[in-house]
Amino acid sequence: MDQQAISKALQQQTVTLPDGTRLPAIGQGTWNIGDDPSRKNQEIAALRRGLELGMTVIDTAEMYGEGKSEQLVGEAIQGKREQVFLVSKAYPQNAGLERIKKACENSLKRLGTDSLDLYLLHWRGRVPLAETVEGMEQLKAEGKIKRWGVSNFDTADMEELWSVPNGSNCATNQVLYHLGSRGIEYDLKDWHKAHSVPIMAYSPLAQGGSLRRELLTNAALKKIADKHHAAPLQIALAWTLRSGNVLAIPKAGQAAHVEANAQAAAIELAPEDLKQLDQAFPGPGHKTPLDII
């Protein structure tokens, strides 16, 4: 598939944020990117290749390599900032009014930019949600972030968030979601749809299949992949996009893997494909704790 076809597919597969912003449904994650200096040039090239193809959402966090990921992303997007929908995340211990501003400023410094398109609370800690929301709203008012959201929140957490002042300004919730981890489908995914808040799916490829080996070896998945002239993990990625309300952010440290991820946007799974995948990887029959890595 040539670059024009890939870019067109990414333009057609989109997710809409509550404020009406449309984003490509496949972005780029950066967990573990920046950890090994010997891979720096390769990882920067991978991120830039993703931008060339139209994978404009880049997600990072102050936790990733204790800032090393943000620094590498900053280098990768130098001179290209206007092309990027830039996302970072704050540690829960930095989510209070006294610390969130400084945490955000530190992230901005490492990224070499003056504002984030989206700033997330990485997971819940001891800081009351109302205080975190107030801090996020202040950052927004100051122009340091354009919108904010959360990560690793289950349904009860989202309900609580909606009960605090301005809590419903949350733009997204980033959670673990892949074909082998479907727990959010029991109630969280429906909650998001009802409230018009998209989900960001991290590790949508189960970290290259390492979290669920069956994504590489399952017979039904391989058969569907052969039918679509694709790799099993490309089918798994295409599967996460099927609802139109999920933005997947697979991590890829090599340009070839970035291209493979981008090509998944062009895969149209038939009802029979989805039925076979449901049989091979059943959805949840009961409420389970939120899957977090």
Q: Find the distance separating the first CA and the last CA of the chain, reported in whole Å.
A: 33
Identify the pLDDT of residue 293: 79
Report the catalytic residues: 64
- Distance, in Å, from the CA atom of 51 to the CA atom of 57, rounded to the nearest integer, reads 8
Global pTM?
0.95
For the segment 173-224, what is each residue's pLDDT rounded down to a tens digit?
999 999 999 999 999 999 999 999 999 999 999 876 556 677 888 999 999 9
Residues of the chain with pLDDT under 50: none
Q: Which CATH superfamily is domain 3-13+24-208+237-280 in?
A: NADP-dependent oxidoreductase domain (3.20.20.100)
CA neighbor of 222 nearest in space, from 211, 233, 213, 212: 233
Domain extents in the chain: 3-13+24-208+237-280
In this structure, how many other beta carbons lie within 10 angstroms of the beta carbon of residue 213? 11
